[in-house]
Amino acid sequence: MTTMSPTHKVIIDTDPGIDDVQAIAFAIAHKNIELLALTTVFGNADVKTTTRNALSTLEVLDSESVQVAEGAESPLSTNRLDAPDFVHGIDGLGNIALAVPQKVVENMSAAELIVEYVNRQPGEISLVAIGPLTNLALALELDPGLASKVKQVVVMGGTVIAPGNVTPLAEANFINDPHAADIVLGAGWPITIIGLDVTMKVSLFDSDLANVREKHPSVGEFIWNSSRHYVDFYKAHYPQEREVDPSTPMHDASALVYLVEPSLFELVSGPARVICEGIAIGQLAIDRSNRKFELPDWENRPTINAAVGVQGPQVKDVFVDTLLDYSW
Ligand code: BDR
Ligand code: CA
C-alpha cells in the first residue's frame, strides 16, 4: 500500500527578494503544496516594492489566483534598517526592470488575511515566513488565539551556531524586527527555524538555474536574470564551492523544502529568545541546557525547533527537480 503525502496549505509571508522568488516558484511547483496567499513585508526593499514584486512574480509564474495582501512597512519597535540593495538590487529583484503588474492586492492587511484564512480552516494552514516577522507578530496581536489554530510555522531566519549575515551574530530577517521575532518564538505554536546554520550549506549553482531556464524559458529566464545581482554579491563576499560554476545559498526555498522533506534536516529544541537591544541585537538565543532556570526572561517560554544540520545537496536537488518537473 502506498501512503499519500499530505498536501500543505501554505501562506508565505515574504519580502521579495531574489531568493524569495525562488521559494515562491518552488511552492507553486511542488505537488504537495497548495499556495493560498502571499503576505508582504518590508525587508529586502520597502513594502511597496516587495508587494509589487510579489504581484509581478505571480504573473510571471502564471499563478494570478494566489492572493496577495500587503503588510508592515516598518518594524514594531526599532528603526527600519536600510534595504540591502547591494544584495537584492534597488528594485529588490536584481534591477531587472519588471513590467508593472496588472494584478492587485487584496483589500485587507497581511495580518488580517492570515487571521481570516486560519480561522476559516483551523488546524490546516501552515505559515512559512521568509522575511522579517512583523506580520506574524501583528496577526498574533489581532487574534490572541491564533497560535493554537495554525498547523505549523516554518521560519527562515536566525542562526544558532553559524555567524550572522548582518552582524557577527544576527541574521537579516531577525535583526530587521527583533521584537517581532521574539514574539513569534514565544507564541507557543509548532515552529521550526531554518536559519543560516543550514541555509549556508544549501548551494544553488548557476548550472542548476541554467537547466531550469532551458526547460522553462520564460520562468527560468526570470529566475536567472533576477539572480545575477545576487550571484555577484555572493561571489564577492563568500568563498565559492566551484571555480567556474558560481553558487548562492538557498535561504528562503530551504524553508519550503523543510515543509515537504523534513527528514533532510537535523533539529535541536529548546526555549528561545531574540536579543532586542545592544551589540547582540537580532541574535537568536536557544536554551539547550535542559535545565529549568528560574529567570523571568526564560520562564514560560515554549520549546521551539531549530535546524542545525542539513543534507545540503539533497535539499538543493529537491528544489531543482521540483522546478524542472513542473509544467509551466
Ligand atoms: C534572508 O534575508 C533576506 O535577504 C533573504 O531574502 C532571506 O530571507 C537571509 O538572511
Ligand atoms: Ca526573504
Q: Is the pLDDT of residue 29 over 80?
A: yes
| Ligand 1 in reach of 193 Cβ (< 6 A) | no
| Ligand 1 in reach of 13 Cβ (< 6 A) | no
Integer angstrom CA distances of residue 203 from 81, 175, 235: 27, 23, 12
Q: Is the pLDDT of residue 17 over 80?
A: yes
**Helix, strand, or coil (residue 315):** helix
d(CA 210, CA 217): 10
| Ligand 1 in reach of 53 Cβ (< 6 A) | no
Where on the phi/psi map is residue 188: left (φ > 0), alpha (ψ -120 to 50), or beta? left
Q: What proportion of the chain, given as a percentage, has pLDDT over 70?
A: 99
Counting ligands in written order, which one lies closest to the CA of residue 83?
Answer: 1
How does residue 150 score in pLDDT terms, banded at 50, 70 and 90? very high
What is the best residue among 86, 156, 165 to mutate for testing ligand 1's pocket, by most ligand atoms within 8 Å of CB? 156
How does residue 24 score in pLDDT terms, banded at 50, 70 and 90? very high
Average pLDDT over residues 139-161: 98
What's the pLDDT score for residue 253?
98
| Ligand 1 in reach of 70 Cβ (< 6 A) | no
Average pLDDT over residues 175-187: 98
d(CA 304, CA 267): 10
Q: How many CA atoms lie within 13 A of 47 on its CB side?
A: 23
What's the pLDDT score for residue 291?
86
Where on the phi/psi map is residue 49: left (φ > 0), alpha (ψ -120 to 50), or beta? alpha
What's the pLDDT score for residue 119?
98
Distance 252 CA to ligand 1 centre (A): 7
d(CA 251, CA 247): 12
Average pLDDT over residues 173-189: 98
What's the pLDDT score for residue 71?
98
**CB-based burial label for 155 (10 Å; 0-12, 13-18, 19+):** buried
Q: For ligand 2, an ion, list residues with CB under 5 A.
A: 15, 17, 20, 130-131, 252
Q: Is the pLDDT of residue 2 over 80?
A: no
| Nearest atom, ligand 1, residue 171 CA | 10
d(CA 222, CA 172): 24
For residue 17, whether the previous peptide bond is cis, meaning omega lies within 30 degrees of 0, is yes
Q: Is the pLDDT of residue 1 over 90?
A: no
| 4 or 108, greater pLDDT | 108
pTM value surpassing 0.85 = yes
Q: Which residue's CA is minimally distant from atom 10 of ligand 1?
A: 172
Residues annotated as catalytic (active site), given as ranges: 251
**Topology given in CATH for the domain delimited by 8-325:** Inosine-uridine Nucleoside N-ribohydrolase; Chain A (3.90.245)
pLDDT digit string (tens) for 259-315? 999 999 999 999 999 999 999 999 999 999 988 888 999 999 999 999 999 999 999
How does residue 243 score in pLDDT terms, banded at 50, 70 and 90? confident
Distance 217 CA to ligand 1 centre (A): 26
Q: Cell numbers for 54, please give them.
A: 510579489
What's the pLDDT score for residue 293?
85
What is the best residue among 44, 53, 57 to mutate for testing ligand 1's pocket, by most ligand atoms within 8 Å of CB? 44
Give the mean pLDDT of the chain.
96
| Nearest atom, ligand 1, residue 166 CA | 10
| Ligand 1 in reach of 130 Cβ (< 6 A) | yes
Distance 12 CA to ligand 1 centre (A): 14
Distance 292 CA to ligand 1 centre (A): 33
Distance 96 CA to ligand 2 centre (A): 18
